[in-house]
Every structure is written in structure tokens, then in C-alpha cells.
């Protein structure tokens, strides 16, 4: 069994590492201190994404993407995940649901998004609908050959810089008809209610949107009426795999920084790493990271080998749960090793410690992942997780 990374995968990994070191790391402190990056800087970074060939990595070459397989996407997200402030988000992954668009939608939305000329945000969560999507109240009512959308969406990541939204609604208010609509942000009736501040610093915002009598044509339906939940689940699988890889990258960077600090910092005439308390923390971090990396790479490879959709969904939940909680533990130890310096915002470890906390919440909380995993065990037995 050859477990070495193929040359093409290594090439993508090195490309992403170079991009992170050249474009992301140098802008971390500026973002942290100012809360935002200037539009001119973001435009430079957008162009750099294309210049490095990292645009549309999760879509086929035929739609202007890079055609990366899952393992290639994983190693890219791992390297980009080392950046603080979620600067990895400048490398947009156009939502997987767009693959199911009509020819016109692919030309209008998917291809320009892969070329970084357009950008989407996904609007699912509402004030009363988080983990339970059946509580969604945003609705699209048919009026002749058009639909009228009314409702409110929260936590719409990158909604401040996106020019269109993928909105999950219930057609005619029927929870049995969850449907995705493509809505240009410039459409009358679409407005940002507010942009809350969160624990982490994030290169883009998470605004709240109001939809008030927003008229869209039938052609705005993505997929088909009633297919919204399935398309959203596919997006969740993709997002959970990316989050797991991002968490891995964040943990690795924190581990490397803490290890270097433990080797150079001296107290009581000895290096920090010479104290068993610190040595054991480093050892635990190494085990956590190696375990996670092995699991993440394995599942990515399984998907590339044709893993069926339901197993991919189940294993994506395992990865998201395990990697996000692993990153929290590793970052906590790294902060402790740095002591007071680990609590200073100029230290990447401090920033990463705040960044990874949300990974146990968004795109399905840790508790929801456990529900999914438990349900798979109940319906399909333990072999879904224990078989090789």
C-alpha cells in the first residue's frame, strides 16, 4: 500500500504554501489591527489567487475551475488554513450546488465565480432556524411566472463582499418544498440589516439580510423546487471537509510555533521543552495532529476513489467533529506554552486560538455531527466507521 502523496498533490500543496506565505501571512497583523483590509488590497489578493492558479479549485476545468480532486483540495485548504483572520477565505470555493445549475446559470454565476469575477454567499440560517432547517420561515411565493421572497437570514458569511446569494427558502411557505434561489444582491428588496461583530477577526463579514418583496424569475431556482435541502447537504459535506483541513493547518502552525518557542525560551536555567510538563504538551499535540492528518487524508482519498454519497456525508461529519475539537485542544496548549505572549494579538497563536473556536459551531455544530454519526451507526451499523 503506497501512502505517499502523488507528485501532483505535492505540487498543489507547495503552490498553496507559497501563496499563504507570500499573500496571507504578511497581511495578518494589518487585518487584526484594523478589522478589515482596504479594497485595493483585496483586489490585489484576488488577482494573486488567479495568478497562482488557485481559483475555482473545487470545480471542473470546463467551467473555468482547476479540476482539483478531493485530496488536492484538502492539502490546499490545509496550507491556507495556517493563516489567521480566515484569510484563506480570499481563495473562494464556489458552492458545489452551482454544479446543478442550468446552462444559463452556469454561464451567469458559476463560470464567473470560478474566475473570481463574481462571488456568492450562502444564506440558510435564520433567527429561529439554525440546526433545525425545518424551522426556516423565509418563503418564496409564486406570483404568475415569478416568485416573491420574504424573510431574514443571519450569519451570511462573506455577504459583505458577495454580489449574489444562494438563499434557502420554503416555496409557498411549505417546509416540504425547501428550495435554493440565486438572488443578485442588487435586486430591489435585498438589504443588509446589520453586520455583527464576532469573537474572531475575519477578512470578510457575516451580515444579516432582510428580503422584503424580492421578485425573482422562475429561472432563479437552483436545481428544482423541493431539492434545496439535498443541495444544501452536499454543500455542507464540502464545507465540512474544508473546515477539517483548515483546522489541521491551524493546528500545525500553532504546534510549530510552540515547539520553536519551547526550544529557545529559558526559565530557571533550562529550556521550556526540558520541563516534562511542556514536553508532554508537545507530545500530545503531535499525536493529535498526526491522527487527524491521517484521517483527513484517508477520507479525501476515499472520496476520490468513488466513496458513495451517504458514506461521504457520514465521514465528513467525523472529520469536522474530530478536527475542529482537535484544533481547539492544540491551540489551547500552544497558548499555554507561550504564556503571556500567547495572549498577545500580535502572536499568530493567539489569533488562531480565537479563529478555530467557530469551527465547532458553523456548518453544523459538534453536537449535530454527533447526531449524524449516531444516526449512521443506528441505521447502518458500526462498520460504516470501523471497516477499512
Mean model confidence pLDDT for the chain: 97
Burial string for 326-363 (b: 16+ CB within 10 Å, else e) reads bbbebbbbbbebbeeebeeeebbbbbbbbbbbbbbebb
Q: Which pLDDT does position 130 carry in this prediction?
A: 87
Average pLDDT, integer, range 14-30: 98
Of 65, 69, 85, 83, whose CA–CA distance to 18 is shortest? 83
Q: Which pLDDT does position 156 carry in this prediction?
A: 98
Contact 39, 203 (CB under 8 A): no
Q: Which pLDDT does position 132 carry in this prediction?
A: 86
pLDDT bracket for residue 97 (50, 70, 90)? very high
Bridge pairing between strands 266-267 and 270-271? antiparallel
For residue 178, report the phi and psi dihedrals to the nearest 5 degrees: -65, 130
SS3 221: strand
User: What are the domain boundaries of the chain?
Assistant: 7-114, 120-226, 229-386
At 217-252, the pLDDT tens digits run: 999 999 999 999 999 999 999 999 999 999 999 999
Q: Which pLDDT does position 118 carry in this prediction?
A: 98
SS3 176: coil
In the chain the first and final C-alpha atoms are separated, in Å, by 13
pLDDT at 1 over 90: no
Of 138, 123, 94, 291, whose CA–CA distance to 207 is shortest? 123
The contacts of residue 343 (CB under 8 Å, 6+ apart) are: 335, 350
Contact 100, 222 (CB under 8 A): yes
Average pLDDT, integer, range 66-88: 98
User: How many CB atoms lie under 10 A from the CB of residue 211?
Assistant: 25
At 370-386, the pLDDT tens digits run: 999 999 999 999 998 99
pLDDT bracket for residue 388 (50, 70, 90)? confident
Q: Which pLDDT does position 345 carry in this prediction?
A: 96
Average pLDDT, integer, range 306-313: 92
pLDDT at 117 over 80: yes
User: How many CB atoms lie under 10 A from the CB of residue 118?
Assistant: 18
At 346-371, the pLDDT tens digits run: 999 999 999 999 999 999 999 999 99
Active site residue 62: no
Q: Which pLDDT does position 2 carry in this prediction?
A: 82
Bridge pairing between strands 139-143 and 164-171? parallel
Q: Which of 78, 79, 238, 363 is catalytic?
A: 363
CA 118 to chain centre: 18
Beta bridge partners of 192: 209
The contacts of residue 135 (CB under 8 Å, 6+ apart) are: 126, 128, 129
Query: For 207, which DSSP code?
Result: -
At 121-161, the pLDDT tens digits run: 999 999 999 888 889 999 999 999 999 999 999 999 999 99
Average pLDDT, integer, range 197-204: 96
Burial string for 42-68 (b: 16+ CB within 10 Å, else e) reads beebbebbeeeebbbbbbeeebbbbeb
CA–CA gap between residue 134 and residue 118 (Å, rounded) = 30
Domain spanning 229-386: which CATH class is it, in words? mainly alpha
SS3 147: strand
Domain spanning 7-114: which CATH class is it, in words? mainly alpha
% of the chain with per-residue pLDDT over 70: 100
Average pLDDT, integer, range 334-340: 98
CA–CA gap between residue 302 and residue 387 (Å, rounded) = 12
**Counts of helices then strands in the chain (DSSP H, E):** 12, 10
User: For 120-226, which CATH superfamily applies?
Assistant: Butyryl-CoA Dehydrogenase, subunit A, domain 2 (2.40.110.10)
Q: Which pLDDT does position 360 carry in this prediction?
A: 97
Helix (H) or strand (E) holding 281: helix 276-304
Helix (H) or strand (E) holding 170: strand 164-171
Burial string for 95-107 (b: 16+ CB within 10 Å, else e) reads bbbbbbbeeebbe
Domains 7-114 and 229-386 share a fold: no
At 24-66, the pLDDT tens digits run: 999 999 999 999 999 999 999 999 999 999 999 999 999 999 9
Q: Which pLDDT does position 133 carry in this prediction?
A: 83
Amino acid at each position: 500500500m503506497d501512502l505517499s502523496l502523488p507528485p501532483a498533490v505535492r505540487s498543489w500543496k507547495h503552490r498553496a504554501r507559497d501563496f499563504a506565505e507570500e499573500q496571507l501571512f504578511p497581511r495578518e497583523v494589518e487585518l487584526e489591527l484594523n478589522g478589515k483590509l482596504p479594497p485595493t488590497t483585496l483586489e490585489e489578493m484576488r488577482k494573486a489567487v488567479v495568478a497562482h492558479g488557485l481559483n475555482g479549485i473545487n470545480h471542473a476545468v470546463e467551467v473555468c475551475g482547476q479540476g482539483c480532486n478531493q485530496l488536492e483540495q484538502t492539502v490546499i485548504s490545509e496550507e491556507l488554513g495556517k493563516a489567521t483572520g480566515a484569510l484563506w477565505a480570499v481563495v473562494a470555493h464556489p458552492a458545489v450546488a452551482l454544479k446543478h445549475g442550468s446552462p444559463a446559470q452556469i454561464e451567469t454565476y458559476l463560470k464567473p465565480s470560478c474566475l473570481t469575477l463574481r462571488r456568492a454567499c450562502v444564506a440558510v440560517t435564520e433567527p429561529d432556524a439554525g440546526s433545525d432547517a425545518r424551522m426556516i420561515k423565509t418563503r418564496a411565493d409564486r406570483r404568475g411566472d415569478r416568485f416573491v421572497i420574504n424573510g431574514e437570514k443571519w450569519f451570511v458569511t462573506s455577504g459583505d463582499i458577495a454580489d449574489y446569494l444562494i438563499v434557502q427558502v420554503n416555496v409557498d411557505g411549505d417546509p416540504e418544498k425547501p428550495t435554493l434561489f440565486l438572488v443578485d444582491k442588487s435586486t430591489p428588496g435585498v438589504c443588509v440589516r446589520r453586520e455583527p461583530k464576532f469573537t474572531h477577526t475575519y477578512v470578510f463579514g457575516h451580515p444579516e439580510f432582510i428580503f422584503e418583496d424580492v421578485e425573482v424569475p422562475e429561472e432563479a431556482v437552483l436545481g428544482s423546487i423541493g431539492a434545496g435541502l439535498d443541495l444544501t447537504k452536499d454543500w455542507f459535506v464540502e464545507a465540512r471537509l474544508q473546515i477539517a483541513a483548515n483546522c489541521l493547518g491551524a493546528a500545525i502552525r500553532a504546534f510549530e510555533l510552540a515547539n520553536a518557542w519551547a526550544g529557545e525560551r529559558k526559565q530557571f536555567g533550562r529550556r521550556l521543552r526540558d520541563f516534562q510538563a511542556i514536553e508532554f504538551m508537545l507530545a500530545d499535540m503531535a499525536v493529535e495532529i498526526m491522527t487527524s492528518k491521517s484521517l483527513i487524508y484517508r477520507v479525501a482519498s476515499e472520496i476520490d476513489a468513488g466513496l458513495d454519497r451517504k458514506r461521504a456525508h457520514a465521514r465528513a461529519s467525523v472529520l469536522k467533529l474530530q478536527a475542529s475539537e482537535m484544533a481547539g485542544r492544540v491551540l489551547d496548549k500552544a497558548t499555554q506554552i507561550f504564556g503571556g505572549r500567547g495572549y498577545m494579538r500580535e502572536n499568530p497563536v493567539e489569533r488562531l486560538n480565537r479563529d478555530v473556536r467557530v469551527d465547532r459551531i458553523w456548518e453544523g455544530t459538534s453536537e449535530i455531527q454527533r447526531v449524524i454519526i449516531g444516526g449512521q451507526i443506528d441505521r447502518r451499523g458500526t462498520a460504516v466507521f470501523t471497516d477499512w
